[in-house]
Amino acid sequence: MIPPRFEYHAPRTISEAVALLGQLGSEAKLLAGGHSLLPMMKLRFAQPEHLIDINRIPELRGIREEGTTVVIGAMTSENELINSPIVQAKVPVLAEAAQMIADPQVRNRGTIGGDIAHGDPGNDHPALSIAIEASFVLEGPKGRRTVPADGFFLGTYMTLLQEDEVMCEIHVPAFAQGTGWAYEKIKRKTGDWATAGCAVVMRKSGDTVTHVRIALTNVAPAALRVEAAEAALLNQPFNATTVQAAADAATAACDPAEDLRGDIEYKTAMAGEMVKRALTKAWALCS
């Protein structure tokens, strides 16, 4: 319960935050919603000497459209995602899936950027961001770079984000007309992390799948895009055989950790089941 002592900084701009990161080095951590970092500090898993609070940086907030791209500030809270008319209309899977994340109080503080930057395989946004083909804008001392979600997650708590970088924005292509989507999450109770989860974004022409992205939550050291499962469906008719082939390809890619949520066999089987449910739901939404 009692976090270790630290120095507190509250910069007002991204560049001030980046400068502080450079100056303080690896002893500093960025404080966003604080609903992963503070819990770890209260258990003394993490003991940074400096916290750089990025809650008072207006540039990191807000949701807007730039052409066909939805731009989401990294410090957008989960409840802001749920309530955003832009997100509801242009990336509906995010608005719906965010309701499955944690609970109302946590969603008032926890941010989409923090959920992604944490790199926890149990978090929901990593798989979601892969399925919606998001990219992340990172600012460091040398300026900005944009990296795709697919490839961002390197391992448990490890991402492409460098120690001296701040994630500024999440860019998401607005869903094309007729796009189907789903996020299926099996969990022990409301507010828990997934035992297994699957995010799907899909488009069709007639009875043929013309676009599909499949990503898995909490069944590997990091969120997983399963291209073999996508290949089982792409340019194929959507039916029980192709859906089962996709689920089989997904379970073959699983590498879950055994814990109180279940053993390897159970989590792998549930991943396959979530894939089938998510595909079925997404297909039904395609038009």
Residues that bind another protein (CB under 8 A): 1-8, 34-35, 38-39, 42-43, 51, 53, 55, 79, 99, 102-106, 108-109, 190-191
- We find the least distance from the C-beta atom of residue 50 to another protein, in angstroms, to be 9
Question: Residue 242: CA atoms inside 13 Å, Cβ hemisphere, count?
Answer: 17
As a whole number of angstroms, the distance between CA 218 and CA 118 comes to 14
Q: Which is nearer to another protein, 180 or 197 (CB)?
A: 197
Q: Which is nearer to another protein, 144 or 188 (CB)?
A: 188
Q: Which is nearer to another protein, 103 or 258 (CB)?
A: 103
- The DSSP-derived string for 29-85 is EEESS-TTHHHHHHTTS---SEEEE-TT-GGG--EEEETTEEEEETT-BHHHHHH-H
Q: Which is nearer to another protein, 118 or 211 (CB)?
A: 118
- We find the least distance from the C-beta atom of residue 8 to another protein, in angstroms, to be 4
Q: What's the Rg (C-alpha) of the chain?
A: 19
Considering only the C-alpha atoms of the chain, give the largest distance between any 2 of them, rounded to a whole number of Å: 61
Quote the DSSP letter at residue 1.
-
Q: Which is nearer to another protein, 22 or 39 (CB)?
A: 39
- We find the least distance from the C-beta atom of residue 42 to another protein, in angstroms, to be 6
> Closest Cα to residue 111, out of 142, 146, 78, 83?
78
Q: Which is nearer to another protein, 108 or 236 (CB)?
A: 108
- We find the least distance from the C-beta atom of residue 77 to another protein, in angstroms, to be 9
Give the C-alpha distances (Å, rounded to integers) separating 70 from 130, 172, 177, 238. 15, 5, 15, 29
Question: Residue 164: CA atoms inside 13 Å, Cβ hemisphere, count?
Answer: 12
CB-CB contact of 52 with 29 (8 Å) = yes
- We find the least distance from the C-beta atom of residue 49 to another protein, in angstroms, to be 9
- We find the least distance from the C-beta atom of residue 137 to another protein, in angstroms, to be 25
- Token look-up 């990219």 returns 135
Q: Which is nearer to another protein, 23 or 205 (CB)?
A: 23
- Count of CB atoms situated within 10 Å of the CB of 172: 23
- We find the least distance from the C-beta atom of residue 142 to another protein, in angstroms, to be 30
CA angle 68, 69, 75 (to 5 degrees): 155
